[in-house]
């Protein structure tokens, strides 16, 4: 039972890292880039690099949480709720869609207003999905 508790704690920690990194990049760091760098082009280039790095933080955290959930089942027979696995998959998909679907169109300067809006919406959906995952995992751990 202690093994399961440790792994559950690690899953909550990874979800908190994931959600916290999304929150800090999307709502603090990138707006500050546009406020303090000399040109919007410089801020946009740096923001693109940060969002790309965030994609890989998201994929790594999501995959590790999925691995933990699988190992919990193998050791204890406990099955994670389908909502948790669904939220992880949904949030990882949003990150990958931004990285490989939206970002190339922004870099190509293809209808910037549209693709910035789509990217922001997908980022927001990822942020909400990851926040809900963290909320539910933390509540489940506390119960």
Coil, strand or helix at 38: coil
Helix or strand run (H / E) with residue 86: helix 82-97
Number of domains comprising the chain? 1
CATH number, position 82:
1.20.120
Res 73: pLDDT = 54
For 37-63, the pLDDT digits (tens) are 999 999 999 999 999 999 999 999 999
Task: Name the residue range of residue 55's domain.
Answer: 2-142
Residue numbers in the chain where pLDDT is lower than 50: 1-3, 74-78
Contacts of 114 (CB under 8 A, 6+ apart): none
| Dist CA 127 CA 20 (whole Å) | 9
pTM for the model stands at 0.88
> For residue 64, what pLDDT is reported?
95
């Amino acid at each position: 039972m202690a093994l399961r508790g440790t792994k559950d704690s690690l899953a909550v920690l990874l979800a908190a890292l994931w959600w916290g990194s999304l929150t800090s990049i999307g709502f603090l760091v990138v707006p500050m880039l546009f406020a303090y760098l000399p040109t919007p082009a410089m801020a946009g280039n740096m923001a693109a690099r940060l969002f790309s790095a965030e994609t890989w933080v998201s994929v790594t955290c999501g995959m590790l949480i999925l691995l933990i959930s699988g190992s919990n089942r193998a050791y204890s027979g406990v099955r994670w709720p389908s909502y948790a696995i669904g939220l992880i998959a949904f949030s990882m998909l949003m990150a990958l869609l931004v990285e490989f679907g939206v970002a190339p169109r922004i870099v190509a300067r293809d209808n910037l207003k549209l693709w910035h809006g789509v990217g922001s919406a997908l980022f927001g959906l990822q942020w909400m999905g990851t926040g809900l995952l963290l909320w539910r995992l933390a509540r489940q751990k506390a119960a």
